[in-house]
Structure 1
Amino acid sequence: MRKGSVKEALAKIKYDPRENEEDYYIVIEHRGSYGNIKKIPVKLIDLGHGYFFVGETQIPYHRIIRIVRKDGRVVWESKKRKEH
């Protein structure tokens, strides 16, 4: 399941021609509100150096709890956030 950093996993999904980014979403914990979870389709995000972007909004990678396929299979999960 978890291989490499979250940024590496997202880059593979977004840029590997064998993957379809529309098949994935990320689960993040919204800033300042433990337990406030949001799902964001991978196709809506742009990768940056220390952050990813959803439109004009900049979000740090450490907020990502997991990356999930639409079929429910978790493909990456934060080591410190597995309780969600």
Structure 2
Amino acid sequence: MRKGFVKEVLSKIKYDPRESEEDYYIVIEHRGAYGNVKKIPVKYIELGHGYFFVEDAQIPYHRILRVVRKDGRVVWKRRH
């Protein structure tokens, strides 16, 4: 999978018929709690312009630390 901005990677996972969003999850840093991370399956997120949405929550893309396959392979990670 091509490396790039996280929104591009997520768009490919969600909309490319060769990919299955069921096979991926994202790891986000929970707001205000350094080191507190949460895993969210890609199938539960909706992509927006500067944010993505999980149910009623609006979360900025910069909170995403990694995009990971269920087999553990990291397909995108934030640069530090």
Which runs of structure 2 are paired with 1:1-84 in the superposition (5 Å)? 3-80=3-80
1:37–1:52: structure 2 CA closer, same or farther, 3 Å change rule? same
**Partner Cα distance (1:37, 1:2) in 2:** 25
Provide TM-score, normalisation by structure 1.
0.93
Identity %, equivalent residues: 79
RMSD of aligned alpha carbons: 1.1
Work out whether residues 66 and 74 of structure 1, in 8 Å CA contact, stay in contact via their aligned partners in 2.
Answer: yes
Distance across 2 between alignment mates of 1:41 and 1:66: 12
Q: Which amino acid aligns with 1:10?
A: L
Gaps in structure 1 of 5+ consecutive residues: none
- Shift of the alpha carbon at 1:2? 6.5
Amino acid at match of 2:44: L
What one-letter code is carried by the residue in structure 1 that aligns with 2:71? D
Q: Structure 1 runs of 4+ off > 6 angstroms?
A: none
TM-score by length of 2: 0.97
CA distance in 2 between partners of 1:69 and 1:7 (Å): 16
